[in-house]
Amino acid sequence: MQLFGNRKHLDTRETDWIEGAKRGDRKSQKALYDLLAAKMFAVCLRYMGDRDSAEDILQDGFVTLFSKIDSYSGTGSFEGWARRIFVNTALMSLRKKDALKNSEDVQTAWNISNDDPTAIQKIGYDELLKMVAALPPGFRTVFNMYVIEGYSHKEIAEALGISETTSRSQLQRARTLLQSRIKERY
């Protein structure tokens, strides 16, 4: 069994925290929060694009995590199970705001080609994440789900209530827009 990272066995302390959280023990919940908060905040920030919204999603995600922790069976990665909760919380928020249906039209992005393949090599990881966060919500969401989380277009379409063609289009536009912004910068 795996809990966090690449460890093959559950850490007894982490197992105790999960079991404690299932019983409603506040110290166990706090320990799990401390263990997961930074990683899950990064997930929330990637989807929401700004710190305030990401903090709201982080809070909502932990409320959901602790209310559904009884459904974690102990098999598979607890962090992976938790990550799915935070991704789904972010997606629900974006759907409520209708942010996924009203993506900006970036028609000019279709006409831009990437004639400088080395530009991507000049950009740092943090700067690239900032550029992803600055994408329009629909583009950012599909990009995160496909490129970072590894969802298929079919899974994205089902999760967001859009067609697979729309998912592919949003991904292509996100990539083209990112390429354009990288090219402008470098």
In terms of domains, do 84 and 111 share one? no
In terms of domains, do 39 and 83 share one? yes
Burial grade of 64 (CB within 10 A; 0-12, 13-18, 19 or more): middle
Q: Is residue 44 part of a domain?
A: yes
In terms of domains, do 115 and 171 share one? yes
Q: Is residue 167 part of a domain?
A: yes
pLDDT digits over 3-38, tens only?
444 444 457 889 999 999 999 999 999 999 999 999
Alpha-carbon distance of 123 to 144, in angstroms, equals 18
Q: Is residue 3 part of a domain?
A: no
Q: What is the pLDDT of residue 42?
A: 92
pLDDT digits over 69-127, tens only?
999 988 888 999 999 999 999 999 988 876 555 444 333 333 333 444 455 555 677 78
pTM over 0.75: no
In terms of domains, do 49 and 86 share one? yes
Alpha-carbon distance of 41 to 57, in angstroms, equals 8
Its domain, for residue 80, covers 12-96
Q: Report the amino acid identity of residue 39.
A: K
